[in-house]
Amino acid sequence: MIKDFFLYTIKNLKTRGIRSWLTMFGIFIGIAAVVSLISLGQGLEEAINNEFASLGTDKLIITAKAAGFAPPGAFTVEPLTRKDIEPIKKIPEIKTIIPRIFQPIEVEYQDEIKYLYGLSMPTDKSQKEILELEIIKTEKGRMLKAGDKYKVVIGYNLANKNIFKKNIRLNDKIIINKQEFQVIGILEENSETNDYIFIEENTLIDILNLDNEEVNMLLVQAKPNADLEKLEEDIKKELRNFRNLEKGKENFEIQTPQDIADSFSNILNIVQTVLVGIAAISLFVGGIGIMNTMYTSVLERTKEIGIMKAIGATNKDILSIFLIESGLLGIIGGTIGILIGIGIGKLVETIASQTLGTDLLKAYFPWYLIIGALVFSFIVGTISGTLPAIKASKLKPVDALKYE
């Protein structure tokens, strides 16, 4: 019986070919938008989580609370200082504490000026710890060493991604805050360092006229198997006592790679929800289109419904036929929409890879996204056809046969 209903429904859809396609248009546009947006959002979230996972799970970053929107440690109410290291270095679970300076700098290269960020690099034994902790390696040249006062190491993008009109090359001269520097090293690609310029720590302090004691962040490495949550609380307790602060009124922040990843995920989820909400409008319009088509179909097939009832079709049979028809309109539109959405997602991924030079923006199509989109489109179609189906099922055979 159900098989006969399906065959009959498919025959009717084929008969109204162009109208059926136009009816499904709103559905597959809406589903395509939803699938492509969600797949790109999930792909980006997956890539970000993988990037932060690669940074390791043994790091904590301590920064002063910012007074507004600013890079870590910039425009702070109460900056961190090297003295803040003293109260926390005695915590047994801590392996290493490294102070870092992270400041905006003016960079001039071949008469073009850009505003980038300079990151301090010590030349003592702590340099090795930083390189291992942040997985920093040179692709060309070498890292800074003692005596490299006016020499720098640049991030991967500055040498490869046309941040300036011409890429900076090894041994080129650049001007930072009116002081000339020589490029002695170029780093391998690394999501943390691609756009930074590494400057010997004391030199960076000199050219920016910084306070020798102030730092922008403290990079903490925990010992193996340390409980990061407990370590975070221990550091907060020690710093509160040292700074005479009450609990909940800290003027510093502690972050783990997972905290940062979670922040990115929350932002992505909000953006994704808004975009999917906009795409859902297309689905609503598509649902209205299906309802309109089904009402028209009921009017056009009134006499046909009367004949079916006259030869024994029940109200339930008529209801089933029209619900199956509207559901099929939804699921066929959904299938086409999914294919279009996959195509859009892959196209954006390819364009991003070629034009932006990044693999972060990838389209990710989990099975539950595909199944969910199909089920949702079927539900939209079925609900949209419910009222017309009920109207068709309640037609009286005598009245339907008289209809012209």
Half-sphere exposure of 11 (CA within 13 A, CB side): 7
Average pLDDT, the chain: 81
What is the pLDDT confidence band of residue 300, given thresholds at 50, 70 and 90? Answer: low
The pLDDT tens digits for 176-202 are 999 999 999 999 987 678 899 999 999
Q: Is the pLDDT of residue 122 over 70?
A: yes
Q: Is the pLDDT of residue 217 over 80?
A: yes
Q: Is the pLDDT of residue 367 over 90?
A: no
Would you state the pLDDT for residue 53? Answer: 58
Q: Which pair of structure tokens corresponds to residue 369?
A: 């996204």
Q: Which pair of structure tokens corresponds to residue 303?
A: 């006499």
Would you state the pLDDT for residue 109? Answer: 95
Q: Is the pLDDT of residue 73 over 50?
A: no
What's the CA gap between 73 and 296, in Å, rounded? 65
The pLDDT tens digits for 47-63 are 766 666 555 567 888 99
Alpha carbon 136 to its chain centroid, in Å, reads 24
CB atoms within 10 A of CB 42: 19
Q: Which residues pair with 113 in a beta bridge?
A: 108
What's the CA gap between 274 and 101, in Å, rounded? 37
State how beta strands 173-176 and 112-121 pair.
unpaired
Percent of the chain with pLDDT over 90: 28
Would you state the pLDDT for residue 394? Answer: 75
Would you state the pLDDT for residue 240? Answer: 93
What's the CA gap between 279 and 282, in Å, rounded? 6
What is the pLDDT confidence band of residue 388, given thresholds at 50, 70 and 90? Answer: confident
Would you state the pLDDT for residue 132? Answer: 77
Residue with tokens 């196209």: 347
The pLDDT tens digits for 156-169 are 999 998 889 999 99
Would you state the pLDDT for residue 36? Answer: 83
Report yes or no: 96 and 110 within 8 Å, Cβ to Cβ.
Answer: no
More confident site: 306 or 219: 219
What is the pLDDT confidence band of residue 402, given thresholds at 50, 70 and 90? Answer: low
Report yes or no: 143 and 193 within 8 Å, Cβ to Cβ.
Answer: no
Alpha carbon 141 to its chain centroid, in Å, reads 34
Q: Which pair of structure tokens corresponds to residue 256?
A: 């783990």
Q: Which residues pair with 197 in a beta bridge?
A: 118, 154
320-344 average pLDDT score = 84
224-248 average pLDDT score = 89
361-372 average pLDDT score = 83
68-79 average pLDDT score = 56
pTM of the full predicted structure?
Answer: 0.58
Sheet holding 59-64, edge to edge: 94-100, 217-222, 59-64, 252-255
More confident site: 82 or 301: 82
Q: Which pair of structure tokens corresponds to residue 353?
A: 């890879």
318-327 average pLDDT score = 78
What's the CA gap between 245 and 255, in Å, rounded? 19
Would you state the pLDDT for residue 91? Answer: 92
Q: Is the pLDDT of residue 105 over 70?
A: yes
Percent of the chain with pLDDT over 70: 82
Rg over CA atoms, the chain: 32
Domain ranges of the chain: 2-52+261-402, 58-255
Would you state the pLDDT for residue 35? Answer: 85
Report yes or no: 21 and 183 within 8 Å, Cβ to Cβ.
Answer: no
Helix count (H) and strand count (E) of the chain? 12, 13
Would you state the pLDDT for residue 49? Answer: 66
368-374 average pLDDT score = 86
Would you state the pLDDT for residue 68? Answer: 47
Three-state SS for 307? helix
| Strands (DSSP E) found in 88-189 | 94-100, 102-109, 112-121, 138-141, 151-154, 173-176, 179-187
Q: Which pair of structure tokens corresponds to residue 145?
A: 């060493």
What's the CA gap between 138 and 183, in Å, rounded? 12
344-349 average pLDDT score = 86
